[in-house]
Structure formats: structure tokens, C-alpha cells
Structure 1
Amino acid sequence: LTALGSLVVCIQFWNHWPTSFSITYCLCQVFTCVLYGGQDDESIRRAIWEKNMLFIEAHNREYELGIHTYNLGMNHFGDMTLEEVAEKVMGLQMPMYRDLTNTYVPDDTVEKLPKSIDYRKLGYVTSVKNQGSCGSCWAFSSVGALEGQLKKTKGQLVDLSPQNLVDCVTDNDGCGGGYMTNAFRYVRDNQGIDSEESYPYAGMDQQCAYNRSARAASCKGYKEIPQGNERALTTAVAKVGPVSVGIDAMQSTFLYYKSGVYYDPNCNKDDVNHAVLAVGYGVTPKGKKYWIVKNSWGEDWGKKGYVLMARNHNNACGIASLASFPVM
């Protein structure tokens, strides 16, 4: 497309985009005009959206030329800056220290690992959720790993409560962020976590309302993958089940990921900021190895809520930098 053609497409797409994602804007009134320097909310958001749309189109033209292994698509983050999105949904915090006694030591000598595995097909994974404007990614990641182990040990797939963790894990900061091992430690010490049905997600910080009679799962502790060791992570996913992982999601390419195997050389493996769930791995027909990763940004994001991320590519995006799983 020419630059003019792209602009025309942008204008046409913009006219439908807000209603597609149930988004409304404030008209310019006195207080909003002062707040936004004389512009109404929609004009500001449209300018951001157009910039993001042109970025997506430019990337996809390069994808068609074979420069990238994944393409992008507009989604509900379209009218926000990268910094605004990060403030709302990237709540993973790095722990100050690690308890090395909980390090996972894989036994690679017993059996050969499968070439691919997908726990969605094995019934270990619940539906994709949407954390909303709350930095609770760590809670959704933790719950996903607990759900997988509950299925493995008890044969039951139950939606567990991320809100229980948001409200009750005092070592974390609720919607302000946290990390997964604190969540697993809470479930161990609390001797349980409630189901989503009994303790539904609110998307905001609330008073802890754990109900022991509604307990749906518990755990004995947790294990951490040796930092940066993708081989150990592969072994854990193959032998244990879905694993909680942290990644660097502070890339526009990640925000608008649509399909393909995601790899961005700008990803910082030493600065993970978003928690997700590794639910499997595989290899494309062209030989590209990937992780199957469940996100918590709703089914409108990515491949119906999932992303395929480059595997064995020097710990791309830090996927093995902060990985852990509960022990039941």
C-alpha cells in the first residue's frame, strides 16, 4: 500500500475499531480540554491509534517479505501508548533473592523428551482469561500452573481464583504487581486456594475473603527453574506440566502479536516484566522451535489468547529467567 492508501485504510478501520472493542470516549468539555491541552479524548486516542496502526502495517509488509516470522494485528491496546499498557497490565516484579533449596534439578538421563507437547489438548488448561486494568498477571500465571497440577494429580480441571491471590498474598502488591513463588508459598501456608466460582475475579484490590470451605486446591511448595536454562524449562514442561514464566513484554511487537513464532531481538531477557504460562512446546514444519504460551489479555489478543514464542533462542525475552511451578 502507498502511504496515502494506508492512511485511507486507517481512517476506515478507525471508524469501526472503538465499537469492535466496546470503547467509548469523552467529548471535549472544560475539564477534559484542560487535562488534554485543548483536545478531546477521542482525538488524542485516535492519534495514538493511527501511529500504532501504521506500525502494524509496516511490520506486516516486512513479514510478507520474509523478514519476520510473525505478524501483527490491531487489538484493544490500539489507542494506548506502550507505557500506558505496561502500567495497566504488566505487574511482574523480580524477587530480591531466590531460595536455592527450591531449585528444580531435571533428570535428563531417564528418558528422551517428546518433540512436542500441548497441555491444552491433554485437558490441563482452562479458558483464556482477561486480567483487565490490573497488574495481576502474576496471579493468573500462578493459578494456571496450579490448575495444571490439580488436573495431573487429582484428575480435575477447575478454574481457580486469581482474585484470591490478588487480595490475600500479602508479600505481593495485588494489582500493583508481584511474582509467582510468593503466590505458591501463600497457597502452601494457607493450605488452599478458592475456586473462581466461589471467589470471582474483580480486577481490583479488595479485602481478603478466602473461604476455607470453598477450597479447590492446595500445594506442598514450589520449584524454580535454574535461571536462563531453557533445557531445564523444556524438561519441566514435558515432565511436570504447565509452568509459570516471566517474559519481557515491553515491546510494541508483543502488544500487537497476532500469529507466527514471536522473536524480537529487542526483547531484554534480563528485564522480565510480565507473567504468563508455558503450556507446551513444539516445532514448525520449517524447523523453528517454539513455546506455547498462554496470556491473560483475553481471547481477542494474539492467537485466541496465546502466543508462540521462540524456543532455544538464547532465552529470548527471558522466558526461562523467572520460571517456577507448584508441587502438589
Structure 2
Amino acid sequence: MKTYRILFTVILLIGLCRPSEGLFNSISLQDYIDSFVDAAKFKIEEKLSLNDSTISHIWSYFKTKYNRVYSSTDEEKERFRVFRDHLRYVLESKLEKLRTYELELNEFADWTLEEFDLFKKGLIISTSLRRTIIDNQYHYHLRRIKRNLNKRRYKNKRFFRDWFSNLIHANDKNNNQSTDLFDWRTKSIVSSVKNQLKCGCCYAFATATILETLYVLKTKSQNIIDFSAQQIADCSSNGNNGCSGGNFPPSVRYLLGQGGKIATEASYPYAGKKQACNTNNLNQIDLGNIEYGAIPEGDEKNLAEALMNYGPIFIGLDADSKRFMFYKSGVLQIKNCPTRRQDMDHAMVVVGYGYDNILKIPYWIIKNSWGTKWGEHGYLRLAKDSGNMCGIASMAYYGKLI
């Protein structure tokens, strides 16, 4: 607590000697909040220790930092009410026992949950898509059964030997979890984190991310080309609806209808809103034939296999929680988080997995499209092999370029 007060005082003094903008850039909203919190008292008494005057100071800091101007006094009152509720939620999250993650108040602090769903998500699951997923899973299982028939006899011979070995070396197996790591980012073939702004087109960014990496793998190029999420949002239909949501299969079908070509981000830049479809003066990349398949619902083992064999994976998550909204760091775990396919509301991309040696938890590494200031530089770590946390494997697709 003493460290926070010293830090805040130093930054404040520095801020007096330069333009105020420098102060707001040098300290995060959460650090500013924490400078007012008596951490020891908060932890012991387990209640919010900020008075109305302090909350008003924090509110003023938030408005200045994020350039908030409201249309009326009534709107500002309502925004302040929302802000205060979110502030309390984030602070009280620090009291949760066995917590494996950190939350922080951020630029979404004056948004309602309905606004957050509208602007920062955008995954649609249609009835026809549900049937498609079931069909894909059926064919996926058939391929696996055929492939595994040739291995069955050999596996039967090894069964008792492996069982006995696992019994003896159980501790070694647990220790090996700490080295269980796979991350496409280490190969420098995952593009930078983007920001969908106030447009529900997460599906377009997730699709572009996957195709960018697949194209590098196909061409063995040394450079990543950013593909246009705006083109997918503007031009694809039959299941996609611009800033009002979409999914991976309709996006792929659209690109196949264009001869397997997609515009570069440089020639068709992101606008943060749906526009008329542009077909002029585009630099188009020929991806070839695009194929995709669905991971069997809830199967995290197959998700990991597909990740290693094919590349980053398009996933849907149930992100209907303030924990996603205000996630800062750590391994996110949400008790009783829905896993049904129909509950998935946000598209993201799995790029790897790992094991946290301090928390003793395996996790998925997931790329988001909410900018680099959210989460761990734009990424989320979500608990792995924990009952299909928030539907990580409920609606997942891998892709291939032929």
C-alpha cells in the first residue's frame, strides 16, 4: 500500500511539470484506483473502503483519461452509476479465495453489459450452422476411427505395459506438465493483436488471424501479411451480418466464392463500422482452396492435436461475464461457466497452451481482438482441461489451405 502511495505521489509531481496528458498516459486507471485503497483494511474487513468523494475523483480521472464527454447530465449520472458498480465488482474480486487471475477497471468501465455484448463480441450460431457442426463432427469421427483401426492391435499389446509404467512413473508424469508448452507465436507467424472497436465483428478478425498464419505455413514466407477483417465484415453474408455478428463457415464460404482470394489490410483497412462492399483497387492474396473442419464438441484433447497439426484454431467462448470484460492477467477460471454451443457469443483464436508453474494450472493461450491494452497484451490465458471451460472446445474450427 505504501509503495502505491509513493508511486502515485511521484507521478503526480511529475505530472505538474509537464502537460496533463502525460500523467494519464503514465499511470493506468487501476493503479490510480489502488492508490486510494487501504489494502490492509480492505483485506481484513472485506468491504469497499472508498467514500463518495474518492469515487468522484476516480470518475473524473477516468473521464479525462478516456476522453469521455456525455450528451446530457442525465446520461452522465447513469454512466457514473454503471461505473461505480463496475468499480465495486473489480475491487471485490480481489477478495475471492484461490483466485488465479487479476481484474482491472479499463476503458469499458462506463459501458453496460448490453453495450459490451453489442460492440465487443459478435458470434452468431444459426440453426443451419448447428446442423453443419454436427455433420462435421460425424465425418471427423469417421476419419479418426478409420485411422485408429490400424493402431488398435498394437495398442492392445501395449496396454498392460503402459498401465504398469504409468503407475510407477505417476509423479514423473505430473512433473512433465510443467514442460507441456506449445505456442505458435514463438514461430513468429501470428499477426499483431487488433481492435474491433465498437463493431461486433470478432468473427472477421478471428477468421483473418487463422488465414494469415495458414498462408505463411503454406508459402513458407518470412513475413506475415495482415488480411482484411473489414472485407469479411462488409462483403460476406449468408450467415454473417457485418457489425451485428457472424461466424467462421460463412466467412470461408464467402472467400471461396471469391476464388479463394482475400484483400490485404493495407488495401482494405479497418473502419470500425460496416460499409458498402468495396471491390476496387484491392491487393488480393490468392489463398488457394480453403478447407475447414470442426473439433468434436467439448474435446480439448482433439483441440490440442488440431492446434499442433493445422495451426491456430477459431473458437467460440461464452464471454458473458465481467471477468472477461475486465480481465487483466493470470489464468481465468469461471465456476459454472456455460459450455453449450448455443451459449457461445464471442469468437477468439487459440494459438497455444502452457502450464503455470506457480499456479499449478494448465492453460490455453487465446488471441483476442480488443486491443493490446486488454488482458496480457491482448491475450487471454484460460484454464485448460478443466471441463471445457466456457466452451473452449464447444465450437472450434481448424482450417487448411490446399
TM-score with structure 1 length normalisation? 0.88
Count of aligned pairs: 311
Question: 1:15 maps to what in 2?
Answer: 60
Q: Which amino acid aligns with 1:176?
A: S
Contact 1:185–1:222 (Cα < 8 Å) also in 2: no
Find the aligned partners of 2:136 and 2:192 in 1 and give their Cα distance. Answer: 33
The alignment partner of 2:349 has SS state of strand
Matches of 1:55 and 1:69, distance apart in 2: 16
What is the CA-CA distance between 1:141 and the residue it aligns to?
0.7
Query: Which residue of the partner structure matches residue 112 of structure 2?
Result: 81
Counterparts of 1:71-220 in structure 2, within 5 Å, are: 71-96=102-127, 97-98=131-132, 100-101=135-136, 104=140, 115-154=180-219, 155=221, 156-171=223-238, 172-191=240-259, 192-211=261-280, 214-218=283-287, 219-220=289-290
Report the CA distance between 1:246 and its aligned residue.
0.3
Instruction: For 1:61-76, list aligned pairs within 5 A.
Output: 61-62=95-96, 66-76=97-107
Cα-to-partner distance string for 1:244-279 (whole Å, 9 max, x where unaligned): 100001111111111110011142111100001111
* Alignment check: 8 A CA contact 2:310 2:399 kept: no
Counterpart Cα distance in 2 of 1:251 and 1:321: 18
AA of the residue aligned to 1:81: T
| Superposed displacement of residue 194, structure 1 | 0.4
Contact 1:185–1:221 (CA under 8 A) maintained in structure 2: no
The CA distance in 2 between the partners of 1:129 and 1:146, in whole Å, is 15
How far is 1:125 from its partner?
1.3
1:221 aligns with 2:294: no
Q: Which runs of 5+ in 1 are unaligned?
A: 29-38
- Consecutive unaligned residues in structure 2, runs of 5 or more: 1-41, 152-176
Bigger helix fraction: 2
| SS of equivalent residue, structure 2 residue 330 | strand
**Structure 2 counterparts to residues 21-36 of structure 1, below 5 A:** 21-28=66-73
Return the index of the structure with the highest Cα Rg. Answer: 2
Cα distance change on mapping 1:210 and 1:326 into 2, 3 Å:
farther
Mark the CA change 1:267 to 1:54 in structure 2 (over 3 Å): closer, same or farther: same
Contact 2:234 2:275 in 1 (8 A): yes
Counterpart amino acid of residue 253 in structure 2:
R
Tell me how far 1:9 sits from its aligned partner. Answer: 4.9
How far apart, CA to CA, are the structure 2 residues paired with 1:209 and 1:315? 39
Q: What amino acid does structure 2 have at the position aligned with 1:158?
A: I
Alignment RMSD = 2.2
Taking the aligned partners of 2:379 and 2:279, their CA distance within structure 1 comes to 30
Question: Secondary structure of 1:120's partner?
Answer: helix
Q: For residues 69 and 9 of structure 1, do their structure 2 counterparts lie closer, same or farther at Cα, with a shift above 3 Å needed?
A: farther
Q: Distance in 2 between matches of 1:211 and 1:236?
A: 36
SS at 1:5 equivalent: coil
Letter of the 1:229 partner, please give it.
Answer: D
Shift of the 136–213 alpha-carbon distance from structure 1 to 2, 3 Å rule, reads: closer
Listed one character per residue, the Cα deviations across residues 62-93 of structure 1 (whole Å, up to 9, x for unaligned) are 2xxx4211110011111112122112222101
In structure 2, C-alpha distance between the alignment counterparts of 1:49 and 1:327, rounded to whole Å? 44
Secondary structure of 2:186's match?
Answer: coil
1:309 matched to which residue of 2? 382
Q: CA deviation at 1:213?
A: 5.3
Retained in 1: the 8 A contact 2:316–2:348?
Answer: yes
Q: Are 1:277 and 2:344 matched, yes or no? A: no
**How far, CA to CA, are the matches of 1:90 and 1:9 in structure 2?**
32
Pairing 1:58–2:123 present: no
Deviation at 1:20, TM superposition (A): 2.1
Instruction: State the TM-score, normalized to the length of structure 2.
Output: 0.73
- In the aligned structure 1, how far is the partner of 2:99 from the partner of 2:286? 42
Once the two structures are superposed, residues 89-121 of structure 1 have per-residue CA deviations (whole angstroms, 9 ceiling, x without a partner) of: 221011322162575556798xxx982111222
Percent identity (aligned): 34
1:234 match: 304
Secondary structure, aligned partner of 2:132: coil
Given the alignment, which residue of 78, 81, 92 partners 1:44? 78
Contact kept? 2:311, 2:399, Cα under 8 Å? no
| Closer, same or farther: CA 4–269 of 1 in aligned 2, 3 Å | closer
Structure 2 CA distance for aligned equivalents of residues 10 and 180 of structure 1: 43
Q: Secondary structure at the match of 1:121?
A: helix
Q: Secondary structure at the match of 1:267?
A: coil
- Which amino acid is 1:231 matched to? K
Q: Tell me the CA shift for residue 47 of structure 1.
A: 1.2
Aligned to 1:32: none
Q: What SS does the corresponding residue of 1:71 show, helix, strand or coil?
A: strand
Contact in 2 for aligned 1:164/1:210 (Cα 8 Å): no
